[in-house]
Structure 1
Amino acid sequence: MATDFWSSSHYRRWIVDRATLRQARADDREYASDEQLALLGIFFANLISKLGKKLELRQRVIATATVFFRRFYLKNSYCDTDPFLLVAACCYVAAKAEETPVHVKNIVSEARALFNSPEYDMKTFPTDNTRLAEMEFYLVDDLECDLTVFHPYRTLLTLCGKEGSVETEYIEEAVETEAGEVGIGIDDPRYWGTGQGKLELQEPALQMAWFIINDTYRFELCLLYPPHLIAIAAIYLTCVLHPSTRTSIQAQSATRVTAQPTSSASSSASTSAPRRSIRQAQSSTTGFSRAKTKDKQVDTIGWLAGLNVSMSLIATLAQEIISLYCLWDKFTDDVGPESARGSISNARKNRLISTQMNIDEEEEDSDDDQPKKVNSVYLTRLWRHMRDAREADLAHPPTANPVPVNKLLVRSDLIS
């Protein structure tokens, strides 16, 4: 197992580009639109979360199972496989990979009880344990035995100075494992930047950032971006959308603007360079000044600017997460307690993103065949339609020549 994300198989093999994702959905795109395929991705991620909760799996295990699901469909298509059986197999393998194994009988019984509900109506889910065990081998083979997955959770806690804390239930699991996700050390220049201070987030704000990371697994962001970028984007969105945190940042900005004229006046009063003796005195008191600044509240904007990452990339990633919530609003499935969807949906009405939201609403696809709101029943039927259409195309390919009934008659026609 790699102790560093940058030398792991996650970084070297499973961070792909958008062209790879589009090529992976080439077969499915013949039977469904891009929006419908994205909704199917949200649907199956929710299904993994529901099954994981029934099996009493930790959030980290559920996230690992979702990543396995995404990686499998980089090489396969929805219309050629059974995603419901794969959901159970991903939970089964992820529980083993995270060292919290669940017996195969429990997986099959809970999955069958969930999938046979009227919401999904998957009465064809196998009752034989060997079917799930066989699917496990197919999954591990397509994953190329790369079962180490890094998640943004520990990066979030490390950047916020909460690593090793067990103050709340939702961060207890993050302190147990995942060593090395932040790099070789916390002073790693890859993204730690200056490393001066930790961001001080209130407990509700930290919880919101945690839930935003949970929601990113509904989309394919875990295949496009390293986990530390997702964690920083979650912090960025929390600073913008969390009311009390946004108010605190605005107060810091107002204080900085008020103090700027005073600093400029003092700098103009002393235009000449300080003497060498003064510089030595200043350098001797550097330790005292650093100790004094530790007691001050960390400037959020300065802290974000000090990170060694591209803030334009972080802003782009944040916009993609907001677009995910815009798409997710079309799905009427119940929102779990560990999701920030409700808070984000309300916060999107804020003036800070109202212009972007109006643009997104104008660019929505007005397909008459798809309802404005979809549910699990609709998406299950959509997958069945894709599978049946695929089987029909494979049985009767449009470019194949019809098989002659009597080859002798065909040969005589050719001779004549």
Structure 2
Amino acid sequence: MNNYWESTQRKFWTFSKQQLAAERKKMEEAERNLVNMYPLPDRRLLSIYFYHQLSKMARPLGIRQQALATAQVYIRRFYLKVEMRRTNPALVLATALYLACKMEECPQHIRMVLAEARHCWDTSFNDISKIGECEFTLISEMNSQLIIHHPYRSLAELQTQFQLTQEENALAWSIVNDHYLTDLPLIHAPHVIAITAMFLAVVLKPTQGGLQIHAAGVANALQTLGNARGGASQGTNRCQKLVDWLAESSVDMEAVIECTQELISLYEIWESYADKNCKDQIAKFVRARGLDK
């Protein structure tokens, strides 16, 4: 967290939900014809699809999770400035991953990234210079502000402080990964995300049967948080300790609640996710507008 408060992330890339909505509305109005001609699925469903595609590209190259997370933030920032239907998402994702690997000090050869992108997207672009051009555009749209502060470091510190079990830590890590599928990286500080993930992991009590997260479980955790804020908290000692710590700390409880609500919405909509739907809708505008050339 040491440099987050002075970072470009905090100064230029942190918005309220209202500001984000206004930015997107302005872009939609400017691109009204395109938007009407090529309807797209909910932004969160597209984010899930993009994450699956990024993971497929990253796995054979052994790319670390943090570089994947940085790429996801780059893509979200870029599409806040540029209408998606004016781009080839396959190229944007490959370029974001390539750039993120450089920034996270695990660089990949451009040819390797291109090869994985072609394999993943079944795409026809095979020119390295395309990634070079797109990289320039990405950097330019982000005003060369490329350093991303992630919740993972805060989570590691909290894990030690609260002695999370291995299962709780795995669940918290998984929740942090999931938050990149929402607008939360553009709204809240990394430590708020880490605290939310840790709180949910302790309250949700991961079972041996796996770490699948359901909206209902998160909603119950939200109730616990609401009770805690109202001073009516009971429950396990661990939960109580956490809730007391939250109440005494300078952490914004409203922010933690907002993060939890955002995650509930994600897990609810995830149930209607269909890979093919996202793929087809993207392919439609990419092909029709000749963006895959």
TM-score (normalizing by structure 2): 0.80
Larger relative contact order (Cα-Cα within 8 Å, sequence gap ≥ 6): 2
Q: Show the 5 A alignment for 1:309-320.
A: 309-320=251-262
Q: Does the Cα contact within 8 Å between 1:61 and 1:94 map onto a contact in 2?
A: yes
Residue 133, structure 1, aligned to residue 127, structure 2: no
Supply the distance in 2 between the matched residues of 1:15 and 1:207 (Cα, whole angstroms): 27
Residue 304, structure 1, aligned to residue 265, structure 2: no
Deviation at 1:384, TM superposition (A): 3.2
Residue 92, structure 1, aligned to residue 34, structure 2: no
Supply the distance in 1 between the matched residues of 2:19 and 2:37 (Cα, whole angstroms): 19
Q: 1:240 to 1:385 in 2, by over 3 A?
A: same
Supply the distance in 2 between the matched residues of 1:83 and 1:253 (Cα, whole angstroms): 44
Q: Does the Cα contact within 8 Å between 1:78 and 1:383 map onto a contact in 2?
A: no
Question: Would you identify which runs of 4 or more consecutive aligned residues in structure 1 move more than 6 Å?
Answer: none
Supply the distance in 2 between the matched residues of 1:36 and 1:53 (Cα, whole angstroms): 26
Match 2:81 to one of 75, 78, 94: 75
Q: 1:31 to 1:327 in 2, by over 3 A?
A: farther
Q: 1:237 to 1:103 in 2, by over 3 A?
A: same
Q: 1:243 to 1:44 in 2, by over 3 A?
A: closer
Residue 214, structure 1, aligned to residue 158, structure 2: no
Deviation at 1:243, TM superposition (A): 4.8
**Residue in structure 2 matched with residue 379 of structure 1 by the alignment:** 278
Q: Does the Cα contact within 8 Å between 1:41 and 1:218 map onto a contact in 2?
A: yes
Match 2:205 to one of 223, 232, 242: 242
Structure 2: where are the runs of 5+ without partners? Answer: 208-220, 222-233
Q: 1:243 to 1:383 in 2, by over 3 A?
A: closer
TM-score (normalizing by structure 1): 0.57
Deviation at 1:388, TM superposition (A): 6.6
Aligned residues: 258
**Residue in structure 2 matched with residue 60 of structure 1 by the alignment:** 66
Structure 1: where are the runs of 5+ without partners? Answer: 117-122, 162-197, 255-297, 332-373, 393-416
Residue 321, structure 1, aligned to residue 263, structure 2: yes
Supply the distance in 2 between the matched residues of 1:253 and 1:130 (Cα, whole angstroms): 54
Supply the distance in 2 between the matched residues of 1:237 and 1:134 (Cα, whole angstroms): 42
Q: Does the Cα contact within 8 Å between 2:101 and 2:108 map onto a contact in 1?
A: yes
- Percent same amino acid among aligned pairs? 31
Supply the distance in 2 between the matched residues of 1:7 and 1:312 (Cα, whole angstroms): 23
**Residue in structure 2 matched with residue 158 of structure 1 by the alignment:** 157
Q: 1:6 to 1:78 in 2, by over 3 A?
A: same
Supply the distance in 1 between the matched residues of 2:20 and 2:194 (Cα, whole angstroms): 22
Task: From the two aligned structures, give the one with the greater helix fraction.
Answer: 2
Q: Does the Cα contact within 8 Å between 2:199 and 2:242 map onto a contact in 1?
A: no
Counterpart of 2:91, as a letter, is L
Q: Does the Cα contact within 8 Å between 2:202 and 2:238 map onto a contact in 1?
A: no
SS of equivalent to 2:15: coil
Q: Show the 5 A alignment for 1:146-225.
A: 146-161=145-160, 198-225=161-188
Q: 1:382 to 1:35 in 2, by over 3 A?
A: closer
Q: Show the 5 A alignment for 1:325-344.
A: 325-331=267-273
Q: Does the Cα contact within 8 Å between 2:55 and 2:68 map onto a contact in 1?
A: yes
Counterpart of 2:247, as a letter, is A
Deviation at 1:299, TM superposition (A): 2.1
Q: 1:303 to 1:223 in 2, by over 3 A?
A: same
Deviation at 1:104, TM superposition (A): 0.7
Structure of larger gyration radius:
1
Supply the distance in 2 between the matched residues of 1:155 and 1:381 (Cα, whole angstroms): 38
SS of equivalent to 2:250: coil
**Residue in structure 2 matched with residue 12 of structure 1 by the alignment:** 11
**Residue in structure 2 matched with residue 282 of structure 1 by the alignment:** none
Superposition RMSD in Å: 2.5
Counterpart of 1:72, as a letter, is F
Supply the distance in 1 between the matched residues of 2:179 and 2:38 (Cα, whole angstroms): 23
Counterpart of 1:384, as a letter, is A
Deviation at 1:19, TM superposition (A): 3.5
Q: 1:251 to 1:7 in 2, by over 3 A?
A: closer
